[in-house]
Amino acid sequence: MTDIRYLAPQTLDEAVGAFAAAQGAARILAGGTDLLVQMRNGMAKPGTIIDIKKIAELTTIARTADGGFRVGAAVSGAVLAEHESFGTVWPGVLEAVNLIGSTQVQGRASPGGNLCHGSPAADSVPAMVAAGAVLTIQGPNGRRELPVEAFPAGPGRTKLAPGEILVSFTLPARPKGSGDAYLRMIPRTEMDIAVVGLAVNLTMANGVVTAARVGLGAVAPTVLLVEAAAKALIGSKLEDAALETAAAACRAACNPINDKRGTIEYRTKVAGVLLKRVAAIAAERAGRA
């Protein structure tokens, strides 16, 4: 057995200092639902583990001055679900975060970990992309912000620079008439990884879409923001023609692989089907908001 150093700093500065000092031999521990599995099967052998759950900013959910939310990167899915208003404002983000793993895993798994793991099939990422979440990142050179869709760099890779730690997700304030939703295709009903995941975030006025964002997962090396699909929805009343144009845009955005979880042909078709289904749910929620 190799020895592992375990650190649980109370401040972000300490965490960043230790992380940078370890020069790549350290791994950040939030819920650990990816890291511990990787360590068990020999894929990860960190010399140092830096547990960020003792740092207040990473584990709190706060309202921003303009009425949005700031969600700490290490907030667990279960804690997010129990928040008094997050789920009513961002039901699509919440349902996506709550799809990470089983009920037991939800007690630990976090949206920050889900994003930093770098999987193109991560459930919470398309919903964060559709929501227009902005990331706060802190590293040896200070703080920076980054739109969530710019964060993934490829399967298992992110744009975090050495020593940088993901701090939080900032979700914007919601205009009246907004709704979001996330659906994934999995062969089973539970315990599976998305073959395709798709999120839609809409704002509607008098039945007309005034703003839209579409996040698409598991069909390319990274989660995608499908701007062409959003463009097809904006200005429409979600008529069949507009939905078909948006679905076609999603299919066109797909650049999937054939693997044990799905085929190129299947994933591409399903992306279009999900766009229509998710848009309908988001619109229904927008009508209630």
Count other Cβ atoms within 10 Å, centred on residue 188.
6
Structure tokens at 215: 């996040």
Binding region for other proteins (CB under 8 A) out of 74-82, 116-124, 169-177, 187-195: 187-195
| Residues of span 190-219 touching other proteins by CB under 8 A | 190-193, 195
- We find the least distance from the C-beta atom of residue 4 to other proteins, in angstroms, to be 14
Torsion of CA 183, 186, 187, 191, to 10 degrees: -120
Give the nearer residue to other proteins in terms of CB position, either 174 or 267. Answer: 267
Are 140 and 58 a contacting pair, CB within 8 Å? no
How far are the Cα atoms of 106, 186, 250, 271 from residue 198, in angstroms, in the given order? Answer: 20, 12, 9, 7
- We find the least distance from the C-beta atom of residue 20 to other proteins, in angstroms, to be 31
Binding mask 234-263 for other proteins (x = CB under 8 A): --------------------------xxxx
CA atoms within a 13 Å half-sphere pointing along the CA-CB vector of 136: 16
Give the nearer residue to other proteins in terms of CB position, either 273 or 289. Answer: 273
Ranges of H-type helices in the chain: 12-21, 35-40, 56-59, 77-82, 86-89, 91-97, 103-106, 111-116, 124-131, 227-233, 240-253, 264-288
Binding mask 265-284 for other proteins (x = CB under 8 A): xx--xx--x-----------
- Which listed residue (3, 142, 176, 187) binds other proteins by CB under 8 A? 187
- We find the least distance from the C-beta atom of residue 193 to other proteins, in angstroms, to be 7
**176 touches other proteins by CB under 8 A:** no
**185 touches other proteins by CB under 8 A:** yes
Kindly list the residues in this chain that would bind other proteins in the complex (CB under 8 A): 1, 185, 187-193, 195, 260-263, 265-266, 269-270, 273
